[in-house]
Amino acid sequence: MKRFTVLVAMLAVALFTMPVFAQDAGVAKLSYGPDQWLQVHFLLQAQYQSAAIWDADRPAYAVDETDSDATWDSTFRIRRARIILKGQVAKNVSFFVETDDYNRGGRNNAGAAGGSGEGTFIQDAFVSYDIAPEFKIAMGMILLPFMHHNRQSAVSLLGVDYNTDVVKFMNNRVWRDTGIEVRGLLAGGVIDYRLGVFQGQERELDVENEAQTDRVGHLNENAAPRFVGRIQLNLMDAEDGFFYSGNYLGKKKIVSIGGGIDYQSNAGIDYDAQTATPKKIDDYLAWTIDLTIDYALAPGTVFALQGAYVAIDNRWSRKTKTRVNGTAIESYYDYDYYGEEYGYFVQAGLLLMNTIQPVIKYSTWVNKDATALGDNTSTYLTFGLNYFINGHNANIKIEYRHPLGENESISPSVDQIDTSGQQQVTLQAQIFI
């Protein structure tokens, strides 16, 4: 919190010492000289959330809304609080830096109390050199160019949040990675390409099972890079920004079809589905196809549709645990293995009078190698309603998520409340300046 306060103070001093203040297309810019300017933005998403919970204090809880043991847990939290700095230091040379403080208070997305506990951190930080509309280069901490949905700005989502039950990556920090990306628009904007080489999984010694006895080798022993990219076909307007929008509110006519791939050799873990233990080091691979429509039917009336299919092989995640070794307690890394997975989502919205937007979403996710882990399949039907006070600058969103089927994912630990497979109501207020 102290670092956050210092950052805000530094920004305030900078703002009051700027020599020139200008306004371009409704966006305030602080100009330092020819081709030099700075923009400061702030995003705040405050949420109230109520969810049916599984509690270890109650014995057998069938993940079913009719279960008499089901109770509702309600909490407030700050979903996102971001300071965004973007600017230009020379002609065609720009930068983007974004901080975040997410899930502050309440429960995080996995149902654990106390929020993220990470505080304020740098989420995005990259330098961009725009050589031409057909060829732009960015280097730094970058949101991976895998699919339209994950590359969307959190400011302009169609629903309350991202479809995290379908959009999944190998051990990554909020879908970012450090590396270099080239992107551009070809054929007059018809083709949108985004290709990158990233750090990915670094060399990791001694991948073991939970018993810490079965060593299967080294992750990325040869330090191979990670390759991520997508190609998008724009049938109408092009999307030329670094971030896509999930909800243009009639400002663009979007009809696009895209595909993406995410690959790194020897960066995945192949495991035995019968014993849920690692078997060997293998290549990590994910691919996707997606469809995006955002089209004005009449003044103030806009139809929006998003859909994507995702398939992943040998995904894993790393978490820190503690173990007792004699009288000493030490930390160690443990791994969750997911094997072969696939899923998809479809969501649609209809903006009316530039103000009200009902939204509906269907999503499903399947782990094909979940024999030892139980039925790791999740399916949801979600209904939402967006109220735009001033577009994306000020709005209120509410949604209700209803599980279809049992949705019995991996059971939570005994000291944690799990909301991942249950009914859930979320109310969110957003401001963006």
Helices (H), 67-187: none
Please enumerate in sequence order all residues whose Cβ is within 8 A of that of 56, keeping only pairs 6 or more positions apart, or say none: 412, 413, 414, 415, 416, 417
Rounded to an integer, the average pLDDT of 16-36 is 65
Domains and CATH numbers, the chain: 19-432 (2.40.160.10)
- pLDDT in the model for residue 279: 79
Report whether 49 contacts 74 (CB < 8 A). Answer: yes
Query: What percent of the chain stands above pLDDT 90?
Result: 56
What is the three-class DSSP state of 64?
A: coil
Instruction: Judge residue 68's burial from the number of C-beta atoms within 10 Å of its C-beta, 0-12 exposed, 13-18 middle, 19 or more buried.
Output: exposed
Rounded to an integer, the average pLDDT of 115-128 is 82
Rounded to an integer, the average pLDDT of 331-340 is 70
Rounded to an integer, the average pLDDT of 406-425 is 52
- pLDDT in the model for residue 412: 35
Q: 97 pLDDT exceeds 90?
A: yes
Burial 268-290 (b: 16+ CB within 10 A, else e): bbbbbbeebbbbebbebbbbbbb
Rounded to an integer, the average pLDDT of 178-182 is 97
Task: Tell me phi and psi for residue 228, to 5 degrees.
Answer: -135, 135
Rounded to an integer, the average pLDDT of 126-146 is 97
- pLDDT in the model for residue 72: 79
Rounded to an integer, the average pLDDT of 115-131 is 85
Q: 65 pLDDT exceeds 80?
A: no
Q: How far apart are CA 279 and CA 264, in angstroms?
A: 18
What is the three-class DSSP state of 13?
A: helix
Q: Convert the pLDDT of each residue in 201-249 to its tens digit.
A: 988 876 665 544 556 778 888 889 999 999 999 999 999 999 999 999 9
Q: Convert the pLDDT of each residue in 265-307 to its tens digit.
A: 999 888 776 666 777 889 999 999 999 999 999 999 999 999 9
